């Protein structure tokens, strides 16, 4: 795609002294976000690749690369005039979203769960990066404390919102519990739940960094027998669960499912089991709600809480999202067969528990790393937020002359890029983009480029600079610099307003 305005030059680069070269298309890695916990559920922060073993459909894999993923805000040097950074206080490093599922909960139990949420959130000194939504009896999302930039965002910057949670949540419940529920059979309710979770995933995809969903629910069945469906057919939701889990994984989201079984309520499993009480089939192998929630947690690298522990689940989700490891391996080309692949991850250290997704669909079309890069960059182009996994610091400067130009020079923090050491040289790759947003809604980007890096130790300290000159144009609203690391799938983006 060409710019509305000519680029001068197509891509101007500084550092390192060696010119980067174009990279051939590489095989796509399988990337895992791994949480390591000790016996007290505290983060283990000193693992190395040698401590881990990965099996893909039973076959050992070579881990490369491997890095610690610290999503806590990192301080940056003060900015001067016309300087910008994606490591500012306004950067969202991660997000935890609580989902109060009224659709899959009996009316009498909603008050119990509401009290549990209130009690849990009142314990937090700050609600920064924490959000709360309801799934109404009609399967719609209702914001109590909305994601920034989304509909209902009335207090996105209010870090103390949890102190008033009782009043805020009570007001939301008065609105949603007064709605007339739509009559849904079990199959329609399950599909509506999956559709709503897909909407949540799409909204979270625009938030940079790692995300967790704490799903408070009775759960949904993973299969239905003919006695439980209007058509009289068996329904197996396993493919839907796995595909939705794949969508969540692409959005960098883990599910922390909390099955709510308040005292005196009906058993969620008994109420939702795929086979009716009088079904004669003794060979029934369908799973109930409890197993469905466990499956979602396993496939997204989250956890299942089957003990009503709302406060524990929220605390664990918020802790896990801040500290994890990112590892990848490159399976052979014939791996991408469209089938489901099981992943087994283990640690050689005693007492270390690992959380990571336990499988994935090897969909055809994902066998090239270029596809993963373009998907990540496309998401960053439309996101209302800057991503801070790769640190970027830029300067905007006017270049005088017969045709005035605006020069954008962005320096990449190489500590956030996966590099391979070979003697005194460090090699890696970067995918840079410059995106122009015009006042008529048009979005233009620079020509896609993969840069092969060959760096010295001095260059590592100084960083890597990408720069470009633009014609001055009154219709230009903003410029976004995006840098993607295909080795680790880390991404940084920075918005500059001329």
Quick: pLDDT tens for 431-461: 999 999 999 989 998 888 889 999 988 888 8
- Give the residue carrying structure tokens 């109930």: 288
- So what's the pLDDT on residue 436? 94
Measured N-to-C along each axis, helices 238-250 and 186-205 cross at an angle, to the nearest 10 degrees, of 10
- So what's the pLDDT on residue 68? 83
- So what's the pLDDT on residue 379? 80
Q: Cα-flanking dihedrals φ and ψ of residue 440, to 5°? A: -95, 10
Cβ atoms of 220 and 271 within 8 Å: the answer is no
Residue of higher predicted confidence among 269 and 336:
336
What's the CA gap between 254 and 384, in Å, rounded?
21
Residue of higher predicted confidence among 192 and 286:
192
- So what's the pLDDT on residue 58? 93
Quick: pLDDT tens for 50-87: 999 999 999 999 997 788 877 655 555 677 788 888 87
Answer whether residue 15 shows pLDDT above 60.
Answer: no
Cβ atoms of 218 and 272 within 8 Å: the answer is yes
Question: Per-residue confidence at 16, pLDDT binned at 50, 70, 90?
Answer: very low
What's the CA gap between 470 and 463, in Å, rounded?
23
Domains for the chain: give ranges and CATH numbers: 12-25+384-496 (2.60.40), 30-81+323-361 (no CATH), 94-320 (3.40.50.410)
Q: Is 277 exposed, middle or buried (0-12, 13-18, 19+ CB in 10 A)?
A: exposed
Annotate 356-379 with b (16+ C-beta within 10 A) or e (fewer). bbbbbbbeeebbebeebbeebbeb
Q: Which of 6-10, 116-120, 218-222, 422-426 has the highest mean pLDDT?
A: 116-120
Residue of higher predicted confidence among 280 and 109:
109
- E strands, 439-475, are 443-445, 451-455, 464-471
Three-class DSSP category at 100: strand
Read off the pTM.
0.73
- So what's the pLDDT on residue 166? 92
Quick: pLDDT tens for 152-197: 555 445 668 988 899 999 999 988 877 766 677 888 888 899 999 9
Distances in Å between the Cα of 235 and the Cα atoms of 172, 229, 272, 286, 287 are: 35, 8, 13, 10, 12
What's the CA gap between 361 and 337, in Å, rounded?
9
The Cα angle at residue 440 between residues 436 and 443, in degrees rounded to 5: 30
Q: Is 24 exposed, middle or buried (0-12, 13-18, 19+ CB in 10 A)?
A: exposed
Quick: pLDDT tens for 328-381: 888 888 888 888 899 999 999 999 999 999 988 887 655 555 666 777 888 888
Spatial CB neighbours of 231, under 8 Å, sequence gap ≥ 6: none
């Amino acid at each position: 795609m060409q710019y509305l305005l000519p680029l001068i030059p197509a891509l101007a680069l500084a550092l390192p002294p060696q010119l980067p070269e174009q990279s051939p298309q590489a095989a796509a890695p399988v990337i895992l976000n791994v949480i390591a916990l000790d016996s007290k559920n505290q983060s283990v922060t000193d693992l190395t690749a040698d401590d881990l073993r990965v099996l893909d459909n039973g076959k050992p894999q070579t881990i490369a690369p491997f890095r610690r993923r610290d999503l806590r805000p990192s301080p940056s040097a003060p900015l001067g005039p016309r300087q910008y950074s994606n490591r500012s206080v306004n950067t969202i490093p991660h997000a935890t979203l609580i989902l109060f599922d009224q659709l899959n909960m009996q009316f009498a139990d909603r008050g119990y769960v509401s009290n549990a949420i209130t009690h849990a959130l009142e314990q937090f000194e700050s609600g920064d990066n924490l959000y709360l939504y309801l799934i109404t009896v009609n399967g719609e999302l209702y914001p109590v404390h909305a994601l920034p930039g989304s509909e209902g965002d009335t207090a996105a910057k209010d870090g103390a919102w949890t102190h008033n949670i009782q009043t805020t949540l009570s007001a939301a419940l008065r609105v949603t519990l007064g709605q007339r529920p739509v009559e849904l059979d079990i199959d329609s309710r399950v599909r509506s739940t999956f559709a709503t979770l897909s909407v949540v995933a799409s909204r979270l995809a625009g938030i940079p960094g790692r995300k967790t969903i704490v799903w408070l629910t009775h759960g949904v069945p993973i299969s239905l027998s003919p006695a439980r469906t209007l058509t009289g057919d068996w329904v197996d939701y396993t493919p839907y669960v796995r595909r939705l889990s794949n969508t969540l994984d692409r959005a960098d989201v883990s599910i922390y499912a909390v099955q709510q079984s308040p005292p005196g309520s009906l058993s969620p499993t008994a109420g939702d089991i795929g086979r009716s009480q009088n079904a004669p089939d003794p060979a029934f192998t369908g799973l109930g709600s409890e197993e469905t929630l466990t499956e979602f947690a396993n496939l997204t690298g989250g956890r299942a809480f089957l003990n009503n522990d709302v406060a524990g689940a929220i605390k664990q989700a918020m802790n896990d999202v801040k500290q994890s490891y990112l590892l990848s391996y490159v399976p052979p080309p014939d791996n991408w067969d469209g089938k489901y692949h099981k992943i087994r991850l283990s640690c050689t250290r005693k007492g270390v528990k690992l959380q990571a997704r336990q499988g994935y669909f090897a969909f055809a079309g994902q066998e090239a790393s270029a596809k993963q890069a373009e998907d990540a960059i496309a998401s960053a182009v439309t996101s209302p937020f800057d991503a801070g996994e790769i640190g970027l610091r830029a300067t905007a400067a006017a270049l005088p002359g017969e045709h005035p130009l605006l020069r954008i020079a962005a320096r990449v923090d190489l500590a956030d890029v996966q590099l391979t050491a070979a003697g005194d040289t460090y090699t890696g790759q970067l995918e840079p983009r410059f995106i122009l947003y015009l006042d008529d809604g048009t979005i233009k980007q620079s020509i896609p480029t993969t840069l092969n890096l060959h760096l010295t130790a001095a260059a590592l300290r100084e960083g890597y600079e990408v720069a470009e000159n633009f014609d001055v144009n009154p219709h230009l609203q903003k410029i976004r610099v995006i840098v993607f690391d295909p080795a680790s799938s880390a991404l940084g983006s920075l918005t500059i307003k001329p």
